Amino acid sequence: MALGQFAIQSAIYSRLNNDSTLTNSLGAGIYDEVQEGNSYPFVTIGRDSSIDYSTKDVDGSEYTVNFDIWSQYKGSKQTKEIMDRIHDLLHDYSLSVTGFNLINVRFEFGDILIDPDGITRHGVMRFRAIILGTS
């Protein structure tokens, strides 16, 4: 059985990308890969990992994914608003994950850093999802 990493990432991406409140607040969008020359703010799907969460009868995985929020707004207001919206869209939301049963999606942590350029705010969020195979 597959780990389901792409299935859960696709469900998360769709949830975020189909929310006009979030996408209207972004200059560039939501990406799996940083695009050179992006306008700010934008969100990237960052580092992710998967570990076995199988039961005796069903294969499953515990999936963690980081989101990177990039902003050049003076201060952290814009970054925090985007992070709040992502939290509202994903935390405890019942995503439909193709080929899997989602047990839950939970927010784990968030942090805001100032990049070395002294201008760019870099928000980092991590979510954990547990999925089990449908057969």
* 61-92 pLDDT tens trace: 999 999 999 999 999 999 999 999 999 999 99
Radius of gyration of the chain (CA): 16
Is the confidence at residue 1, as pLDDT, over 60? no
* 95-126 pLDDT tens trace: 999 999 999 999 999 999 999 999 999 999 99
Q: How far is CA 111 from CA 11, 80, 107, 108, 131, in A?
A: 24, 9, 12, 11, 26
CATH number assigned to the domain comprising residue 49 = 3.30.2000.30
Q: pTM of the prediction?
A: 0.93
| pLDDT value at residue 86 | 98
Q: How buried is residue 135: exposed, middle or buried, by Cβ count under 10 Å (0-12/13-18/19+)?
A: exposed
Task: Look up the domain containing 15 and give its range.
Answer: 5-133
